[in-house]
Amino acid sequence: MPFKANAARRHHIPKQRHRVTNWCEYDASLRQRGSLTVWFTAEAIVAWRAEPRTTRGGQARYSALAIRTALTLRAVFRLALRQTDGLIGSILQPLGLDLAVPDHSTLSRRAETLEVPRLQSRTGPIHLLVDSTGLRLCGPGEWLIERHGTQRRRAWRKLHIGVDADTGQILASELTTSDVDDGAQVEPLLDQITAPLASFTGDGAYDQTGVYSIVINHHPDAEVIVPPRATAVLRENVETSSTQRDRHIQTIAEHGRMGWQKQSGYTRRTLVEAAISRFKRVIGNALRSRTDRRRATEVAIAISALNRMLKLGRPKSVRTA
């Protein structure tokens, strides 16, 4: 246990207990997540064949919706491309549909340029929560690494997400290399959100002057809720013009960090950690595609599937202790 010698002097927060109040509806939504009719829809069957091409080049056989449907099945049920091919064939045959099944090579090739529609933001002001996590890369050498070990560090990518605090849905995402700073991806995330922001909340990695400037430039009325570092001090001209960061520092000095977290609403940030945990538990913690563009498509498909799962039903809980 880390810091075991100082355990008696550390601030202990009792674990909260909650009770789900809509268990019947939530239980039904969990069963729906495994239903093929949720992911293989009638709309996809109608638009399975690609529309005739009017420009020069070869004629596509499958529509973008058909490819998205196949890749969604792959993400939800954690299948390889060949197993996805077999699953779709086993669905079309009992239905008596005369539709071709995209093979694994077609799915891989079309994922390189596939456009995945993003979730439309709500019209009202949004409390945006941002964070990042690592996703490791699966390759032909993974088995050798696990079997024989190696001194080489495994490669991975960094997933940056923006979550709506009210709905839990992922509104924005960016996949970058592992050495990209979290603050550098704030503007790309904000560019994907059309609705106004009520607040922007992130952890200490976003305690940067540039982050405050970017958020204010995009949404002047948004409140930036980022904890200042422990060594942060007020600016020299704070008496004449105080910034949001200065006010955070003053509140922490008066009420402590725990008091600041409750007053500012920083406690909502746990919801973005829950979204990351949901992504890794449902989808997995690794990327199976081999190129960056296909990895970006893989992430976009996974996020779209997670958002659809939340639309099926969410637990409503009340605190009991």
Q: How many CB atoms lie within 10 A of CB 217?
A: 10
The interaxial angle of helices 292-312 and 23-32, nearest 10 deg, is 140
Tokens 């060949």 locate to 82
For residue 63, which amino acid is it? S
Task: Name residues whose C-beta falls within 8 Å of residue 174's C-beta, 6 or more positions apart in sequence.
Answer: 159, 160, 185, 188, 189
The 8-class DSSP code of residue 97 comes to -
Per-residue pLDDT tens, the chain, 321 aa: give them: 455 666 665 666 777 888 999 999 999 999 999 999 999 999 999 999 998 888 888 888 999 999 999 999 999 999 999 999 999 999 999 989 999 999 999 999 999 999 999 887 778 899 999 999 999 987 655 555 556 665 555 689 999 999 999 999 999 999 999 999 999 999 999 999 989 999 999 999 999 999 999 999 999 999 999 999 989 888 888 777 788 999 999 999 999 999 999 999 999 999 999 999 999 999 999 999 999 999 999 999 999 999 999 999 999 989 887
Task: Name residues whose C-beta falls within 8 Å of residue 175's C-beta, 6 or more positions apart in sequence.
Answer: 135, 157, 158, 159, 160, 292, 295, 296, 299
Contacts 24+ apart (CB under 8 A), 255-260: 257/227, 258/11, 260/227
Residue 115, classed as helix, strand or coil, is coil
Which residues are bridge partners to 174 per DSSP? 160
Domain map (residue ranges) of the chain: 23-110, 126-292
pTM of the model: 0.89
How many Å apart are CA 309 and CA 306, to the nearest integer?
5
How much of the chain is in helix, strand and coil states, percent to nearest 5?
45, 15, 40
Cβ contact 249:228 at 8 Å = yes
Domain 126-292 has CATH 3.30.420: yes
